[in-house]
């Protein structure tokens, strides 16, 4: 993608330079300049634009083949397994109208569970367990 941008900047610079020479020095008539543009630079820019989708597709991950040891890339915003600890804390605080004072991540039967200790406004302390995969609170 950066090559495409560099080529577009180069083409713009070249057209600007040719036009500046043609108009400032008044030695070249407009018709031959436009003919050069139509015959040379315009088709080159169209060829570059035609290959742009292929360049973008080249940077995208391909299909995963069986037996491959490489794991597919995940989206940055996608959590690795269900919800994050921060999201679990914010959900619990809003649902129970209390403040989380302590967090712990434990493994219960092979599942990741967030154990949150909450303090309510009236001073009551209670514990909430949040399943990291489903987001379900207990």
Q: What is the structure's pLDDT at 52?
A: 67
Q: Are 130 and 92 in contact (CB under 8 A)?
A: yes
**The pLDDT value given to residue 23:** 64
Please give the Cα distance from 45 to 8 (Å, whole number).
8
DSSP letter assigned to residue 75: -
- Structure confidence at residue 107 (pLDDT): 92
Q: What is the pLDDT of residue 8?
A: 80
| Environment class of 42 (CB within 10 Å of its CB; exposed 0-12, middle 13-18, buried 19+) | middle
Rounded-to-integer distance, Cα 132 and Cα 83, Å:
5
- Strand, coil or helix: 19: helix
What pLDDT does residue 102 have?
Answer: 94
Would you state the pLDDT for residue 90? 93
Taking 50 as the pLDDT cut, the residues of the chain under it are 75-78
pTM over 0.75: no
């Amino acid at each position: 993608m950066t090559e495409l941008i560099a080529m577009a900047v180069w083409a713009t610079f070249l057209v600007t330079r040719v036009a500046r020479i043609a108009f400032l020095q008044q030695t070249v008539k407009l018709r031959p300049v436009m003919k050069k543009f139509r015959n040379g630079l315009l088709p080159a820019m169209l060829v570059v634009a035609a290959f742009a989708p292929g360049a973008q597709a080249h940077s995208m991950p391909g299909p995963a083949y069986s037996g491959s040891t490489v794991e597919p890339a995940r989206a940055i915003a996608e959590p690795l397994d269900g919800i994050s600890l921060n999201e679990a804390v914010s959900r619990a605080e809003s649902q129970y109208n209390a403040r989380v004072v302590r967090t712990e991540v434990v493994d219960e039967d092979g599942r990741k569970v967030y154990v949150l200790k909450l303090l309510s406004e009236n001073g009551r302390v209670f514990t909430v367990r949040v399943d990291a995969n489903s987001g379900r609170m207990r």
